[in-house]
Amino acid sequence: MPAGSGPAVTTPITTGTITTGANSITITTNPFSTGSAGGVLITVYLTWTPSATQTITCKCYQTATTGTQVAPTAGLIATGTGTTETTATFTFLDTSAFALNATGAVYVVGFTASTGTGPIAYAFTELETTAPLS
């Protein structure tokens, strides 16, 4: 996606359950290519129903869950309480060589629950390139 183009959004996931298994649910972004971008902004949207109080950790990886992790390496965390549907947004910025020189690349984001299970109502990713302001 050339710098200045609109965001690329994945088809939303509307089924699945986040569990305590590492990356129990994953989303793969649309393939992207960059040229002279300053980096790639990865935004992850999640709506889920926690089982009691539940913390969800979201981690972002280059290529696959076995690939290089985009900082922060501990992931980003959201907490839901009770059994009320909860929405969270996670944002990662990748300025590595992978993001700057990508051709047909993808990111994979994974969700892990601290306890119990959390059915997903709606989740998707959005990619945008960054460019220097003038």
DSSP 71: S
35 and 3 Cβ atoms separated by less than 8 Å: yes
CA separation for the pair 101, 107 (Å, rounded): 14
pTM of the model: 0.91
Q: Which residue has the tokens 């935004």?
A: 43
Tens place of pLDDT for every residue, the chain, 134 residues?
Answer: 444 456 889 999 999 999 999 999 999 999 988 876 788 999 999 999 998 889 999 999 999 999 999 999 899 999 998 889 999 999 999 999 999 888 899 999 999 999 989 999 999 999 998 876 66
CA 92 to chain centre: 8
CA separation for the pair 74, 68 (Å, rounded): 13
Q: What is the pLDDT of residue 124?
A: 97
Q: Can you name the CATH fold of 8-126?
A: Jelly Rolls (2.60.120)
User: How many other C-beta atoms lie within 10 A of the C-beta of residue 78?
Assistant: 18
Q: Which residue has the tokens 């960054």?
A: 130
Task: Please report, for the chain, the start and end positions of each structural domain, with discontinuous segments joined by +.
Answer: 8-126
